[in-house]
Structure 1
Amino acid sequence: MYLDSAKKEEIFSQYGKDAKDTGSAESQIALFTYRIKHLTEHLKNNHKDHVTARSLTMMVGRRRKLLKYLYNTDINRYRAIIKALGLRK
């Protein structure tokens, strides 16, 4: 599987407060970004996979909602996660 527990802990420790911090907005945004990149590569090879395309669209929407929440609550954390992940916003 492309996303095992070791990879999740690595993402959470890098972007969250520690490896067990799964609830912060930064760690969730980082996890969504990792999954979005993986699904984008999958869809480049399997362009007729409509179920994956729909889940990719829903995942981008969830990440956008979290980014909007972070923007409204703490602009400095928002700018830091955008810069760290290299998102275009």
Structure 2
Amino acid sequence: MPYLTTEKKASIFAEFGGKATNTGSIEGQVALLTERITHISKHLQSNKHDHSSQRGLMMMVGQRKRLLGYMQKHNLMGYRALIEKLGLRK
């Protein structure tokens, strides 16, 4: 059973992107990446030698960092609200 079902994705986009169908919003994408990063981090705590998952995690962290950088430049108040809501440090 997948950990990230269609309903879970729709609820993430509804909460952060405004609507469940607004999958292109930066806020929704960052929230989805954060959910995936959290899941893979838990997986890697018990599977330390899973290097392909570790590489995928680093790629997701980089993607989230780039999206947050873009958002910080173009919508500072939204950026601050998003990192507060997601519990990210910065």
Of structures 1 and 2, the one scoring higher in RCO (CA 8 A, sep 6+) is 1
The residue type equivalent to 1:67 in the other structure is L
Matches within 5 A, 1:10-89: 10-89=11-90
Unmatched 5+ stretches in structure 2: none
Give percent identity, aligned residues only: 48
The residue type equivalent to 1:65 in the other structure is R
> Please, what is the CA RMSD of the aligned residues?
0.4
Runs of 4+ in structure 1 off by over 3 angstroms are none
Quote the Cα distance in structure 2 between the aligned partners of 1:53 and 1:60: 11
Count of residue pairs the alignment pairs up: 89
Quote the Cα distance in structure 1 between the aligned partners of 2:11 and 2:46: 27
TM-score computed with the length of structure 1 as normaliser: 0.99
The residue type equivalent to 1:85 in the other structure is L
Per-residue deviation, 1:17: 1.2
TM-score computed with the length of structure 2 as normaliser: 0.98
